[in-house]
Amino acid sequence: MSNSPIMQQLSLPLNILNTEPKTTSQFQEILKTLNMTNSPGWPDKFGELIHNWCTKKSYSPIKTLSLFTGGGGLDIAFHDCGFQIIKMLELEPKYIKTLETNSQPGKYLENSQPICINIRDYFPSPELEIDFIIGGPPCQTFSAAGRRASGVPGTNDTRGKLFLEYVRILKKLQPKGFLFENVYGIIGAENGKAWQTIQTAFQEAGYTIYYRILDAADYGVPQHRERLFIVGLKTGNYLFPAPTHGPDSIGKEPFYTALAAVKDINISEKKLEIKGKYGHLLTDIPPGLNYSFYTDKMGHPQPIFSWRSKFSDFLYKADPEMPVRTIKAQGGQYTGPFSWENRRFSIAELKRLQTFPDAYEIVGNRSVCIEQIGNSVPPQLGRILALGILEQVMGVKLPFSMQYLSPTQKLGFRQRKRQLTKRYAEKAEEAIAKFSTQSLEKLQTVSLSINNYPNQRNIEKFLSTDFGWHDLPKSNSVKIYLNYDLHSSCWLIDAGKSQLRDKKNQYSIDIIPSANFPDWVLNTERVKLIASDWDLEVFTGLWKAFEEKLRQITGKADLVQLSGYYQYQPKIKMTMSFSRELETNSIWRVVESIIKGIGVKTQLSTQKLAFLWGVNTEDIFQYMQCLRKIGYEVRNHNTNPQIIPGEYLIPYTFPTLNPKSVQLRKNLEFRI
């Protein structure tokens, strides 16, 4: 007989398969059996009652080893379902503090042993007896952020090979089974090669594997969070539990909404307001939407951002009537989810949205707490998976009936995601329609009138080494003199290192809307940037000056929003002209090519770039370093490991680095 997971699952006894249709809600039956109500924070009570029931049973302890423990989400789940967490391995000392706090007598994970260690240095004792292993290695190498940065490194990155350490420990300890969690991008990494390698490694360790991509919201978590789960078994079979909530659940139990999860939380945390350049924008964003509300694609009358120019969690405001989108472990000042009350969620609220127990103490400052929450498996999802393992693998009869997915049964969360896109587009349309005609006229008048910004001569601005643009001198800043002459026919911006009276122009850059986007937001036909000095800092200063006026007059956030995200056709067209002939290998000739769009927007080898720019191949790295110094974002294998060694990516035809740029803190050259 075939040894495939599907064939093995089809051979399950009927009493275990338990997939016959029912009309009543499985979740409501569980609540009734446990004598509990569907009140705010109900997952805490669910975990408590399940744990009490398991404690009263007389079956032998299921000794469990936790790998890549993080903040302990899976450990909470399996602990509640009767698994004895023996050891918890975690690399980060700041996360270990949380595990140590909650492992003390009388605490949630009492008697568990946290170990701060690199898994590569962990060699379990031959005497250690383990029945089950849980955990998932860091997922950055397979994440959406990696895909957005031009593919994922997968197993080409050292973090992507940590599953091999997992396999090494499996071979050493030979438990009955394991549960492995990661982002679903792992399946598509390296065109599926990484996923095949991972499956083969687990199978060669002696385990039959069963896997599914699940959405946490389908299992009682007030958060949409899609993750890959692998269950590996030495013997026996495994079916994944059927959803307890949502349209795919038995009885169509409604989702556990964000509002229901947090409505009884008393907010004691301070400094939850959102300030800064974009904080005020959150107020008008309808719940469920993000920065895209302020794009022309959504129909906003005065777009600030370009479509898909930001991550989806940028200025994302949660919808109280739905589960929130995925809580991210790390993010910037404007990374949501934000509350529908136009503030940040408190840590207590984020714990509820991730179904961490109120009594479970997460140690650290706000950012460290969010890291631990965002990196964890939501405990309520983990509990349902653990109960399925308890019943099918460990042979424990549960006090209520569990329903399971057949091997061929499909879930609809991907399709529902597409439906949500339509729903939120309609909400954006409704919100914009509520703007009064007077408000729109006022918005357009204030934003587009160049008369509000009179023409100026010999204005002093200061460019700092981190590409900040200031009115007053800063440490290590240089002075740039500027002339502004803004008219409906042309915006003229001149820059130089000294006052600009009667100075000769050395080069100019002409900017016009591209043929496919004739209606740009600038109240002028074209823009002309003029430099009076052969100076790279003057070049950067010109772009900073243009960006500043763009922001002041139109409300556009930055130059990227004017041109559009680099993976789309640019909305502007540019040319560069010189007052005299340049040397062939001059940096200015390279800049001229980039401004024309030559050698940008795609990964190219040094040889290809040298050919396109008409320079020597051995000089490419030097040119790339120079481009970084004048504010261009340049990526290579050292800044983004998913980029093939020897290739480069310059996303935009103009400088985009600023003091808050992630790329600013990366280096093109490998450093130990």
Edge to edge, the sheet with strand 491-496 lists 469-470, 456-463, 478-486, 491-496, 527-531, 507-513, 572-578
Strands 527-531 vs 491-496: parallel, antiparallel or unpaired: parallel
What is the C-alpha separation between 568 and 577, in angstroms, rounded? 26
Has 139 been annotated as catalytic? yes
Helix (H, G, I), strand (E, B) or coil at 314: strand
What is the C-alpha separation between 314 and 325, in angstroms, rounded? 12
What is the C-alpha separation between 75 and 112, in angstroms, rounded? 10
Helix axes 620-629, 606-613, angle to 10 degrees: 80
Sign of CA dihedral 69, 74, 76, 78: negative
User: Residue 321 in contact with residue 257, Cβ under 8 Å?
Assistant: yes
Phi-psi region of 62 (alpha: psi -120 to 50; beta: other; left: phi over 0): beta
Q: How wide is the angle at C-alpha 48 spanned by C-alphas 381 and 395, nearest 5°?
A: 65
**Residue 648 in tokens:** 């480069």
What is the C-alpha separation between 157 and 640, in angstroms, rounded? 10
What is the residue whose two structure tokens read 């929003």?
561
Question: Active site residue: 54, 139, 490, 626, which one?
Answer: 139
User: Residue 420 in contact with residue 290, Cβ under 8 Å?
Assistant: no
Query: What is the largest distance, in Å, between two alpha-carbon atoms of the chain?
Result: 93
Closest CA to 493 of 450, 528, 538: 528
Q: Which amino acid is at 470?
A: H
The residues carrying an active-site annotation are 139
